[in-house]
Amino acid sequence: MYLSRLPLTTLKETPADAETVSHRLMLRAGLIRRLASGLYNWMPLGMRVLHKVQTIVREEMDRAGALELVMPSVQPAELWRESGRWEDYGPELLRMKDRHERDFCLGPTHEEVITDIARHELMSHRQLPVNYYQVQTKFRDEIRPRFGVMRAREFIMKDAYSFHLDEQSLLEGYELMRDAYRRVFDRLGLEYRIVQADSGAIGGSRSEEFLVLAATGEDAIAWCDADGFAANVEVVSIAASGNAAPDPSHERELVATPGVGTIAELARFLGTGADRCLKTLLVKGNETPAVALLLRGDHELNAIKAQNLHGVAAPLTMLRGAEVEAATGCEPGFLGPVELPVPMHVDHAAAELSDFVCGANRPDYHYTGVNWERDVDLPGVADLRTAVAGDPSPLGGGPLSVARGIEVGHIFQLGTKYSDAMDATVLDADGNKRSMHMGCYGIGVTRVVAAAIEQNHDEHGIIWPAAIAPFQVIVVPINPDRSEVVRETMAELHDRLSEAGLEVLVDDRAQRPGFKFADADLIGIPHRIVIAERGLKAGQVEYKGRSESDVTLVPVESIVDFLRSRA
């Protein structure tokens, strides 16, 4: 393809709103254009990348025996009522009515529809197992779309759903998908990890995430090389250290702390550490208006763990200022467990504190030198906090490391959650009706593109992994309008490389060399060939790989073989 025929508008200036590298580069390179918040147009160059990702995904799904189909993105509400998710899914589900006032939604995922298909099409255990998949547009009305296509509202997902007679078969199907996913991400050329994960709104039992390692990732993963543990930090359980709280050495004292309402301010005000303070968080309860959660000041509450506690309403909801006052008689910022009139849970680490600091349930006052049992009964102890680097691995192999990542794939064992709710059954060999066991498996196709850029770029632009580059080779003629031999060689290389099956982009625009080099680097084509009059005198053109700094001279006639040896 000749670049003069591709309206490529690259931007020299960085768009103001783009925060992350991938978002900036995708806009600057003309891969995407924003239509509205969280909604993006995929321009021709970006579409080529998207196609390549989709092709790899399809090839590996087909190889694993999955069957492609496509389901509507508009879905009738009845199905969602059947599964219970019309009520459960919340405002992320975009709902609408048709002209007859019937309820519909834009599909954020397709468990309901596929289960409906399965209960009509699958009757006998002899048809199982089956795995259906599609590559299709999803819509999730995110609270805050951001980072370009990384967290967009409309995005492309490959979703697959498997149906099995029993748990053993589900396990086998799950492993098959796990292997297929590994092949997909290996072929994409991405550095990733597979980690245990929370199954969230999709439901089911076991699930694992595929995370592309990148500093800008929205997820954090914890792992231990010694024992092979790896999980999303939000699901890492933290055992009690086994250390009892040291004996009290201070008397409890009421201290005036005017206006000191945060842990950071408190620690500074008292000249102590946040890890010597107790923070008291009030959340909505399901039996009482409020439940208090007590954590060490330097620790973070883990929402998933907290909402599984007895008495805590799910999803976890923090109380607002007025609600806190109604429940405790004190404004936020000065709460503590001493004589607090609400049910409480305390984290292991907080239960091991002695002589700690906490709010006095009086505005502008805290207690110091507080001790469990002596000053306040120790509430139920639980694992409430999110793991951090250095916490012990649950498998006992030593301290955990923590890194950030981008979730690009997620696989679940759903079990019979949807098949029970929607009566998706088959007859087994004995003629008995049995709910099918289900698995579901997703890859964020559009997000993969952004993740690839986060992981592969430099100060000049994108450096595409070979498998998903929009073109493999870019040919840059120097001043073609002034040199007939350059012009001829340009046309010759275009034809020869194309015939050799290479995807070639020829920059025949009437631009100066520097301009073309800058664009070639920005759009990240892996292989670059420069045609110049001076090299042609020796019958040579110049080759440079996108991530290399040195140029190689190659005879014109052997350029195809040379490129093949590099590809």
Partner RNA sequence: CGGGGCAUGGCGCAGUCUGGUAGCGCAUCUGCUUUGGGAGCAGAGGGUCGGCGGUUCGAAUCCGUCUGCCCCGACCA
> What amino acid occupies position 115?
T
Smallest distance from RNA to CB 378, Å? 17
**Should residue 333 be labelled a site residue for RNA when binding is judged by CB under 7 A?**
yes
Among 460, 487, 496, 566, binds RNA (CB under 7 A): 460
Q: Considering only residues 132 through 171, tell me which ones interact with RNA, judged by CB under 7 A.
A: 143-147
Q: Determine, following the binding rule CB under 7 A, whether residue 335 of this chain makes contact with RNA.
A: yes
Residues 301-320 as x/- pattern, contact with RNA by CB under 7 A: xxx-----------xxxxxx
Which range binds RNA by CB under 7 A, 51-59, 99-107, 393-401, 479-487? 479-487
Determine if 508 is a binding residue for RNA (CB under 7 A).
Answer: no
DSSP 400: P
7, 13, 373, 565: residue in contact with RNA (rule CB under 7 A): 13
Task: Retrieve residue 354's tokens.
Answer: 């002695």
Establish if 532 lies at the interface with RNA (CB under 7 A): yes
Under rule CB under 7 A, residue 262 binds RNA: yes
Considering only the stretches 167-175, 244-252, 328-336, 499-507, report the one whose residues sit in contact with RNA under the rule CB under 7 A: 328-336
- Find the shortest distance in angstroms from Cβ 489 to RNA: 12
Cis before 44? omega within 30:
no
Q: Using the rule CB under 7 A, is 321 a contact of RNA?
A: yes
First to last CA, the chain: 19
Are 164 and 132 in contact by the 8 Å Cβ rule? The answer is: no
Among 176, 448, 474, 478, binds RNA (CB under 7 A): 478
Least separation, in Å, of the C-beta of 90 and RNA?
11
Q: Report the site for RNA in 343-362 (rule: CB under 7 A).
A: 358-359
Q: Which 3-state string (H, E, C) describes 430-487?
A: CCCEEECEEEEEEEEHHHHHHHHHHHCEECCEECCCHHHCCCCEEEEECCHHHCHHHH
In angstroms, the CA 272 to CA 264 distance is 10
Torsion angles phi and psi, residue 467, rounded to 5: -65, -25
Q: Which stretch binds RNA (CB under 7 A): 211-219, 224-232, 258-266, 430-438?
A: 258-266
Rounded CA-CA distance 130/127 in Å is: 7
28 is a site residue for RNA (CB under 7 A): yes
Using CA atoms, how far apart are residues 565 and 554, in angstroms rounded to an integer? 12
Q: Which of 141, 219, 300, 503 binds RNA (CB under 7 A)?
A: 300
What stretches of 156-221 show up as alpha helix (H) in DSSP? 167-188
Q: CB-wise, 319 or 436, nearer to RNA? A: 319
Q: Which of 254, 269, 264, 276 is nearest to 339 (CA)?
A: 254
Rounded CA-CA distance 313/42 in Å is: 41
Binder of RNA out of 513, 545, 562, 566 (CB under 7 A)? 513
Q: Is 95 in the site for RNA (CB under 7 A)?
A: no
In this structure, which amino acid lies at residue 315?
P
For residue 39, how many other CB atoms are within 10 A of its CB?
Answer: 14
Can you tell me which of 21, 22, 31, 38 binds RNA, judged by CB under 7 A? 38
- 261 binds RNA, rule: CB under 7 A: yes
Task: Give the orientation angle of helix 445-455 with respect to helix 21-28, to 10 degrees.
Answer: 100
Please report whether residue 481 would count as binding RNA according to CB under 7 A. yes
